[in-house]
Amino acid sequence: MAKRVTGPEIEKLIQLLAKVPGLGPRSARRAALHLIKKKDQLLGPLSHAMGEAYDKVKVCSRCGNVDTVDPCTVCTDDRRDQGVIIVVEDVADLWALERAGAMNAAYHVLGGVLSPLDGVGPDDLNIRGLIERVGEGGIREIIIAVNATVEGQTTAHYITDQLAGLEVKITRLAHGVPVGGELDYLDEGTLTAALRARTAI
Ligand SMILES: [Zn+2]
């Protein structure tokens, strides 16, 4: 058995950090050591920020976004076009689309995609909430922005079926060649989708 080099408190910090995506045990040890060395500049403010986030974080009951208020900042922003809802799998996708700044719309976070193999059915996702939002009226367009995976596409079809009969336009992301992307590096699925979604020049 390896000899202990630190007390259990620091060991615990390392073990928890190692569970953060992108950090393994090795990076977690480096991060922990860095935090300890920067006790006042980093460890203190970080533990305070984490405590505050823990106390205040909420999931928006309307769209599924995370925020410290419910309904969230996006749902109550009247400078956004609240008549257009972009449907995403995860909050990370919402953040990515906002960083891209392409749309000024509302969102709906599903919390995953349908995956019968993993036992994820419609009731495990925030789909009913979306149907209810559309049913309340005032929504002109639903943009389904799920990943171009088999599960993502199955989910898109399911949502489209569920929205049938409601007065709303349903669109989805074009699956195309990424800006700056070289055809060589694209997988066949992307290339095929790009060809099928071709537009006139
Ligand atoms: Zn919201």
Superfamily the domain 8-56 falls into: RecR Domain 1 (1.10.8.420)
Intervals of CATH 3.40.1360.10 along the chain: 71-172
In the reported structure, the alpha carbon of residue 45 is separated from the centroid of ligand 1 by a whole-number distance in angstroms of 28
64/3: higher pLDDT: 64
Q: Rounded CA gap, 78 and 199, in Å?
A: 34
Ligand 1 centre from 2 Cα, in Å?
49
Q: Strands 81-88, 141-144: parallel, antiparallel or unpaired by DSSP?
A: parallel
What spacing in Å lies between the alpha carbon of 146 and ligand 1's midpoint?
18
- Whether residue 2 is predicted with pLDDT greater than 70 in this model: the reply is no
State the fold for domain 71-172: Dna Topoisomerase Vi A Subunit; Chain: A, domain 2 (3.40.1360)
Distance 3 CA to ligand 1 centre (A): 49
Q: Where are the beta strands (DSSP E) in the chain?
A: 58-59, 66-67, 81-88, 105-109, 141-144, 169-172
At residue 40, what is the residue type? D
**Ligand 1 centroid distance, CA of 53 (Å):** 17
Rounded mean pLDDT, 5-21: 92
Output the CA 162–ligand 1 centroid distance in Å: 21
- The more confident residue out of 190 and 181 is 190
Q: Identify the pLDDT of residue 47.
A: 96
Q: Are 141 and 85 in contact (CB under 8 A)?
A: yes
DSSP characters over 27-59: HHHHHHHHHHHTIIIIIHHHHHHHHHHHHH-EE
CA of 42 to the centre of ligand 1 (A): 31
Centre of ligand 1 to C-alpha 133, Å, is 11
pLDDT at 81 over 70: yes
* CATH 1.10.8.420, the chain: domain bounds: 8-56
Q: Phi, psi at residue 127, to the nearest 5°?
A: -90, -40
Written as one letter, the residue type at 139 is I
Spatial contact of 124 and 132, defined as CB atoms under 8 Å apart: no
The backbone torsions φ and ψ at residue 104, rounded to the nearest 5 degrees and listed phi first, read: -120, 65
Average pLDDT over residues 132-157: 90
pLDDT average, residue stretch 111-136: 93
- Tally of CB atoms within 10 A around 182: 8
Predicted confidence (pLDDT) at residue 181 exceeds the cutoff of 70: no
